[in-house]
Amino acid sequence: MTKILPETLANQLKIVTAPSTADGSSTADGSSVALTGSTIADGTPTDSSLTSSGAMPCGLADVTATATVVSRKAADDRPHIRVWSNGPDLPIIIWIGALHVGALAAPFCFTWVGLIAFCIFSWISGGLGICLGYHRLLTHSSFQTYTWVRRLLGLCGTMAGEGPPITWVAVHRKHHRYSDKPGDPHTPHDGGWWSHVLWLFPRPSEPAWENMLQTYAKDLIKDPFFRLLDRTFLLWHLGFGAIMFAIGWGIWDLRTGTSLLVWGVFLRLVYVLHVTWFVNSASHMWGYRNYETTDDSRNLWWVGLLAFGEGWHNNHHAYPGRADHGHRWWEFDITYLTIKLMEKMGLAWKVIGPRKK
């Protein structure tokens, strides 16, 4: 097992505008570093945005930072933003509950067309949208691409039902800053079910919530398209559901329309939600470790397969900025293979991969 330097300055997050390090690791002192980039509206590639914590050593010379823009108020954002004392977050609870109720109809309206829609849109929303788009591009900038590709992947991620990109990225960057320590939004230290889904149910404190977004996702807030997705999140799902039902009914029959709605929307969203949540919960409780990181991240094979390569989570927490999460020959990572395909097609560049020996 490779030993990782401890986080000695985890409570002093710096947010700077700069490209990420060559190997996707963090600074030599183990401090957390979040790199936020700018979006260029004319289609030129964007700068990096990366949040790193507890990763392999490299010098600060690798990070050509320009300015520190966030104050070092130690532990100001450590307390949980979502707490039960604020009451339940009813819109979130209703959203997640409605999806699960709708998914219960799946055995009663199965069609092969519905199953094909489930598979295709699980990959588009979960694989391309969440794993490749939200996570490896928007959160960690493990590669660079054109603005239109960046925005398209953000839209795909929105269709996974896990919230708009600004919110998702902010929460995940905070998770990396405080991984399995006080301040982590969804650590199993607060309970397995909490880390899986319950952390979403308490209503957030509005001032603290807005401060988190400004601190951890300021680069995304600057993009008007991502702000649009933030305002219209639910409308995309309602429109997509209506289109799926209309296509099935119009081309085939009412049963097929219902099947496309249930399998292509409700069941697909429930699947993508849970495999993503398993990364937060199961991959911090069970599995093996290639690296001795300062958190409890694990590599869990079945999450790796179900979640499009995201289950090799200990590897990711050791090298947060790397595009590849599978570091052993058996650790299959379809998302990284897709990034490499994009690179060959000219749609991705500056891909942060394995360190050259």
Kindly report the average pLDDT of the chain as a whole number: 83
Q: What is the tens place of the pLDDT at every residue in 162-190?
A: 999 999 999 999 999 999 999 999 999 99
Q: Coil, helix or strand for 257? A: helix
What is the distance between the alpha carbons of residues 276 and 199, in angstroms, rounded to a whole number?
14
User: What pLDDT shows up at residue 89?
Assistant: 96
Whether the pLDDT of residue 82 is over 80: the answer is yes
Average pLDDT of the segment spanning 210-216: 95
Q: Other CB atoms closer than 10 Å to residue 101's CB: what's the count?
A: 11
pLDDT digit string, tens, across residues 271-295: 999 999 999 999 999 999 999 999 9
Give pLDDT tens digits for 100-156: 999 999 999 999 999 999 999 999 999 999 999 999 999 999 999 999 999 999 999
Q: Cα–Cα distance between 190 and 67 in angstroms, integer?
A: 35
pLDDT at 74: 38
| CA distances, 225 to each of 38, 44, 154 (Å) | 13, 15, 9
Percent over 70 (pLDDT), the chain: 78
Contact 96, 163 (CB under 8 A): no
The answer to whether residue 34 scores a pLDDT higher than 50 is: no
34 in Cβ contact with 21 (< 8 Å): no
Which residue would you say has higher pLDDT here, 66 or 273? 273
Q: What is the pLDDT of residue 66?
A: 25
Residues 169, 216 contacting (CB under 8 angstroms)? yes
DSSP 8-state class, residue 349: B
pTM of the model: 0.82
Host H or E run for residue 51: strand 50-52
pLDDT over 90 (residue 198): yes
pLDDT (average), residues 237-243: 98
Higher pLDDT, 139 or 36: 139
Question: What is the per-residue pLDDT for 355?
Answer: 80
Question: Where exactly are the structural domains of the chain?
Answer: 78-344
Distance CA 316, CA 325 (A): 6
User: Quick check: 231 pLDDT over 60?
Assistant: yes
